[in-house]
Each structure stands twice: as C-alpha cells, then as structure tokens.
Amino acid sequence: MNIAYEQIEELKEYAEYEGTEWGEMIMALAQVMSYADYVSDEFRGVLFNEIARQHEWAKEELVITEYEETFKRTVRSVGQR
C-alpha cells in the first residue's frame, strides 16, 4: 500500500476531531484520493505530496487527546403540592 493511503487514513482521524475548514479540506483530499487510480500521474504526484505535507504538519502541530466529559444540568419540573 502506498504511504499516502496510510497518511490519509491518519489525517482523517485528525480531521474528525479537529472541526474546522482544515478538517473539511482533509476529508475532501480523502475523497479525491479514492479516485487516485483514475487521474494522471502528475496529478497523483501532486496529491500525494500535499497529503505528505499535511500529514507532517498535523504530526507536528496537533495532538488527539481523550478525556471524560461530565455535565451538571439543572432540571425544573412541576408537581403537585
């Protein structure tokens, strides 16, 4: 498997949690990546290079953290006296 396919899968995980236009762009790259076999070699090369560049940036600048979130909420209700 091409390294770009591995990188795009990892980038999709970042994109899922990131939630900005960058994440949307990564998901668009992933969509285009699914057609990589049907595009020119030049386009494929540019696509793979962009994925590698984005992957390098994400590994340096982003971290996925996992934590538990709890919420306290106030509930009002009406009952008989």
Entry field: residues in the chain: 81
Cα 60 from Cα 46, distance rounded (Å): 21
For the chain, 81 residues long, the average pLDDT of each consecutive 10-residue run is: 86 89 94 94 95 94 84 74 57
Strands (E), the chain: none
Model pTM above 0.85:
no
Token digits of residue 33 = 């990546």
24 is written with which tokens?
A: 């949307």
Q: Which two tokens stand for residue 37?
A: 């076999």
